[in-house]
Amino acid sequence: MSYELRVKSKAKRIKLLIMDVDGVLTDGRIILDDRGRELKFFDVKDGHGIALAHRAGLPTAIISGRNSKVVNIRARELGIKIVYQNSLDKLKSYESILKKTGLKDEDVAFIGDDLIDIPLLKKVGFSIAVADALPYVKDAADMVTEKKGGRGAVREAI
């Protein structure tokens, strides 16, 4: 089966899209001001893609290794109801999502970019790495986007 057919076959079964944040929904940069407040860069195109996914009936979720108020604000803006932060064991958070939703591995897609994401990329039904992900992460993914994380990769994947 060709790459394109394999990707399409896996993608059409998806009932939930889970995303990492830093390096996927953002470009990975974090700005801290002199008061310790954190700023992140999100791409409007990714946000629009998430809105389109929701309108089409595809819910989305976040599992992030870090904890950030900014992520909660952005998730609320985008209507992302399932948000796990400070999740150093992303598989544990993922299993919790499956339990709550009744979904199976083959029903879920995940977009990641770093080593912490590899176990989850190997577990889900459809795994996606962003263009600027680490080589090991790309090797673990079913699909690699042409766009970089925080620069339209999520919109491309959707």
- The pTM for the full model equals 0.94
128 vs 26: CA distance, rounded Å: 15
Q: What total of structural domains would you count in the chain?
A: 1
CATH code, domain carrying 77 = 3.40.50.1000
pLDDT tens-digit readout, 55-96: 999 999 999 999 999 999 999 999 999 999 999 999 999 999
**Domain that includes residue 15, residue range:** 3-123+131-157
- In angstroms and rounded to an integer, the radius of gyration of the C-alpha atoms of the chain is 15
Is residue 17 within 8 A of residue 109, CB to CB? The reply is yes
